[in-house]
Amino acid sequence: MTGKLSRVVNPQDLEQLAKLLDGRGGVGDKLSEAFTRASALGVSSKLTAIRPMHSWISDTAPELRKKAAYARLEDGDPLAGLLLAGFTPEQLKNKDLPPDVLLVANATASDGEVDDDWLKKKDGESLDDWLVRVQGDAVTQLTGNEKLGKAVATYIEGAANLSAFFTSSTTALLGGKSLISYFRSSKVLNAPGTFTARLINGHWDKLSRIPRAGSWLTRVPTSALAGSDEAAMLAGYMRKGAFYMPTSTEANLLRVAQRGGLANAAKAAGWIRGVGIVGSAGATAWGIANLATMDHGKAWKEDKAKYLSNWTGTAFNASLTAAMVAPNPVTVGLAVGTGLAYAGTLVWDNWDSISKGAEEAADWVGDKADKAGEAISDGAKKLGSALNPFD
């Protein structure tokens, strides 16, 4: 029994009905407002008959969303499993979610014989925390090896933190250096993350000297990778009494788009800068979704460092996106400031591991590597047995 509906329904209608019951400004809010006013007027007893509606709303709205999720599951909606886990359509809207996690969630939800309690969102769990945990729990379910599942989840979270630290600290360091040069010698600011693009623009011709590969690589237009300086000229502006023509890595893409359209803005950005903008914008959207699904009071009490790193991480990615699109002292300065804050909160959040010192790190890595090897070996054997129909 997977909870399939015995009648044809529109899942959007059920979700909208649930939103009208417990959403912002819905029946639940209006009911609370009515009781507040009645209390102020001293006539609360007159509303006793409708008091049970509070519990009815808190029970009915989630049940409607659950039925809508099962209807989506029957239609093959990839988000159905996450909706059944406890997230709302608004929280998942326009989010770039890992396909493998979506498949696991839907497969688990569709099989009535599989216990899917591990899939459900825990109280106060954010989308980011859920994704890390559920990937580890999926490994546990497949292999029966709980330690391996925890190791996978820990690795995923650790790798993400390490990558975020290097991105934020590098941006802060290089951005700060650029700002100093800007204020000292009026050096033009480049967009963050365009160091490689500048190297390509300045040294692409040298690739012709590389045997075999060089003859092919030099046929690739530099503008496709590093951006078109010609398109970037549309963002020209007055500087020190003269009209300045910015390069592709210096250009304000908003200005290029305003004067020459989005196509020219894309040409000025090039593939490298474009991918960076899309990535940082996606990380910003993800951060906002993570904050939206978080129980802020509980998160603050449980882990202040992690809570602050969620906020500073979202702020950093938002400011980095702005600086990559329109590099100027304000946007680059914000990227530097939020980058420092994010790197700092990540260090604070992981200080217990860091404070053990470099000497213990080598022993720790060696010990963990041995244990991980054993766990993976045992887990692989169990997984192979589970997948082998003749075993």
pLDDT in tens, 169-205: 888 988 998 999 889 888 899 999 888 788 777 666 5
Distance CA 300, CA 161 (A): 19
User: For 67-80, how does the pLDDT look when each residue is reduced to its tens digit (9 = 90+)?
Assistant: 888 888 777 787 78
Q: What is the pLDDT of residue 233?
A: 92
Distance CA 37, CA 63 (A): 29
By the 8 A CB rule, do 38 and 46 touch? yes
Q: What is the pLDDT of residue 213?
A: 47
Distance CA 340, CA 336 (A): 6
Q: What is the pLDDT of residue 179?
A: 92
Question: What is the residue-averaged pLDDT of the chain?
Answer: 78
Tokens 């049970």, residue?
52
Q: What is the rounded average pLDDT of the residues 33-45?
A: 86
Q: What is the pLDDT of residue 386?
A: 44
- Assign 3-class secondary structure to the chain: CCCCCCCCCCHHHHHHHHHHHHCCCCHHHHHHHHHHHHHHHCCHHHHHHHCCHHHHHHHHHHHHHHHHHHHHHHCCCCCHHHHHHCCCHHHHCCCCCCHHHHHHHHHHHHCCCCCCHHHCCCCCCCHHHHHHHHHHHHHHHHHCCHHHHHHHHHHHHHHHHHHHHHHHHHHHHHHHHHHHHHHHHCCCCCCCCCHHHHHHHHHHHHHHHCCCHHHHHCCCCHHHHHCCHHHHHHHCEEECCEEECCCCCCCCHHHHHHHHHHHHHHHHHHHHHHHHHHHHHHHHHHHHHHHHCCCHHHHHHHCHHHHHHHHHHHHHHHHHHHHHHCCCHHHHHHHHHHHHHHHHHHHHHCHHHHCCCHHHHHHHHHHHHHHHHHHHHHHHHHHHHHHCCCC
Q: For the chain, state the CA radius of gyration.
A: 27
Instruction: State yes or no: pLDDT of 368 exceeds 60.
Output: no
By the 8 A CB rule, do 102 and 81 touch? yes
Q: What is the pLDDT of residue 219?
A: 61
Instruction: State yes or no: pLDDT of 36 exceeds 80.
Output: yes
Closest CA to 97 of 66, 60, 128: 128
* Least reliable range by pLDDT among 27-31, 32-36, 338-342, 362-366: 362-366
Q: What is the pLDDT of residue 64?
A: 86
Q: Which of 165-179, 212-226, 311-325, 355-369: highest mean pLDDT?
A: 311-325
Neighbours of 142 (CB within 10 A): 16
Q: Which of 58-62, 267-271, 333-337, 374-378: highest mean pLDDT?
A: 333-337
Q: What is the rounded average pLDDT of the residues 116-144?
A: 77
Q: What is the pLDDT of residue 8?
A: 65
Return the structure tokens found at 259: 């004067």
Q: What is the pLDDT of residue 339?
A: 92
* Least reliable range by pLDDT among 54-63, 214-223, 382-391: 382-391
Who wins on pLDDT, 94 or 22? 22
User: For 242-259, how does the pLDDT look when each residue is reduced to its tens digit (9 = 90+)?
Assistant: 889 999 999 999 999 999
Instruction: State yes or no: pLDDT of 116 exceeds 50.
Output: yes
Dihedral class, residue 211 (left if φ above 0, else alpha if ψ from -120 to 50, else beta): beta
By the 8 A CB rule, do 341 and 316 touch? yes
Cβ-Cβ contacts under 8 Å for 4 (sequence gap 6 or more): 70, 74
Q: What is the pLDDT of residue 50?
A: 86
Q: What is the pLDDT of residue 388?
A: 44
* Least reliable range by pLDDT among 40-49, 162-171, 209-218, 288-297: 209-218
User: For 202-244, how does the pLDDT look when each residue is reduced to its tens digit (9 = 90+)?
Assistant: 666 555 555 544 444 556 677 787 888 889 999 999 888 888 9
Exposed, middle or buried by CB within 10 Å (0-12, 13-18, 19+), for 333? middle
Phi and psi angles of residue 94, each rounded to the nearest 5 degrees, phi first: 60, 30
Who wins on pLDDT, 219 or 266? 266
Phi and psi angles of residue 390, each rounded to the nearest 5 degrees, phi first: -100, 0
User: For 85-111, how does the pLDDT look when each residue is reduced to its tens digit (9 = 90+)?
Assistant: 878 777 777 666 777 677 777 777 776
Distance CA 116, CA 60 (A): 21
Stated pTM of the model: 0.62
Q: What is the pLDDT of residue 158?
A: 72
* Banded model confidence at residue 117, pLDDT cuts 50, 70, 90: confident
